[in-house]
Structure 1
Amino acid sequence: MAAFMVMTPPASGDPVSDAVKTAFVKDGFSWAALFFAPLWALYHGLWLVLTCWIVISLAIGAVGDFFSMGAGQVLSLAFSLLFALEANQLRRWTLQRRGWQLSGVVVGRDREEYERRYFDRLLAAGQPQDDPSTPAPERRRAEPPRARATGTGVIGSMPTPRGA
């Protein structure tokens, strides 16, 4: 089972369109980003990430030409693995820069399961997330527990002063 971070778009006022646009970003390694990094970044609309990937790839190529082919291949493989490890976090970071909010984390085996879990939990809450028309429930401030009165006047290891 994989964990997915649920990213919701900035509220447009229409809960149905917001639900359709909700993005589920896998937490972990991305095989697609390992083998098809530029296409993966284009597919997700990560223009800044794609630009940085191109610049770093060109720099690695220049380093490989300067030293030897073996060094360039090792650096290229290491960069590809690092990119695949961090690709989904870069996607989440880009969505947050665009105003999307982290709405929760769900776990599931496949797309149908994790989407069903998230939307069932959302419906069980009784209201769409971030709906400005519904008032927030009142929250009472938790009061600290009160000590029971005992004849010794000692709570724990510290006695209370006499006459207090």
Structure 2
Amino acid sequence: MAAFMVMIPPASGDPLSDAVRTAFVKDGFSWVALFFAPLWALYHGLWLVLGLWIVVSLAIGAVGDFFSMGAGEVLSLAFSLLFALEANQLRRWTLQRRGWELSGIVVGRDREDYERRYFDRLLVRGQPQDETIPATERRRAEPPRTRAGTGVIGSMPTPRGA
């Protein structure tokens, strides 16, 4: 199972359109970005990231030509691995720069699974008093409660001396 960060677009006034535009950004390594970094960046509309990738790649090529002892290949491989590790974080960063907000984190096996989990949880959160929702689901959607003045969450005992 993989974890996905849910990014929601700036509100357009149409909840259905906003829900369709919701982006699920995988947390972790991107194999596509490892082998096809420029195409991956173009597909996701990451123009600034693509520009920086090109600049760094050209710099690595220049270093490789200068030293000509395999340093270029080693640096290129290291840069490709680093880019693939951080590619999804760069995508999330770009979305945040465009006004998108992190709505939550969801875990799932495939696209249908994690989308269903997120939107089910969103519906439960939006309608906590609805009697058709089981009590266990309503409890899961409520934020943790703190005891007044103690900073203790949930059913933890009151600290001594408080």
Task: Give the TM-score band, short-chain normalised.
Answer: 0.7 to 0.9
More helix by share: 2
Give the drift of 1:68.
Answer: 1.1
Counterpart residue type for residue 84 of structure 1: A
Q: Which structure has the higher relative contact order (CA within 8 Å, separation 6+)?
A: 1
Gaps of 5+ in 1: 128-140, 147-155, 159-164
Cα distance in structure 2, aligned partners of 1:34 and 1:62: 21
Counterpart residue type for residue 144 of structure 1: A
The 5 A counterparts of 1:1-164 are: 1-126=1-126, 144=148
Deviations along 1:130-149, one digit per CA (max 9) or x if unpaired, are xxxxxxxxxxx966379xxx
Cα distance in structure 2, aligned partners of 1:68 and 1:15: 56
SS at the partner of 1:99? coil
Cα distance in structure 2, aligned partners of 1:143 and 1:157: 15
Deviates more, 1:23-32 or 1:69-78: 69-78
SS at the partner of 2:28? coil
Cα distance change, pair 91–144 in 1 and its aligned pair in 2 (3 A): same
| Aligned-CA RMSD value | 2.4
SS at the partner of 1:5? strand
Cα distance in structure 2, aligned partners of 1:36 and 1:68: 25
TM-score norm. by structure 1 comes to 0.78
Give the drift of 1:91.
Answer: 0.1
Cα distance change, pair 49–14 in 1 and its aligned pair in 2 (3 A): same
Deviations along 1:25-74, one digit per CA (max 9) or x if unpaired, are 00000000000000000000000000000000000000000001511000
Counterpart residue type for residue 148 of structure 2: P
SS at the partner of 2:126? coil
Cα distance change, pair 143–119 in 1 and its aligned pair in 2 (3 A): closer
Give the aligned length.
138
SS at the partner of 2:24? strand
Cα distance in structure 1, aligned partners of 2:45 and 2:123: 30
Report % sequence identity: 85
Give the drift of 1:126.
Answer: 2.5
Deviations along 1:87-135, one digit per CA (max 9) or x if unpaired, are 00000000000000000000000000000000001111236xxxxxxxx
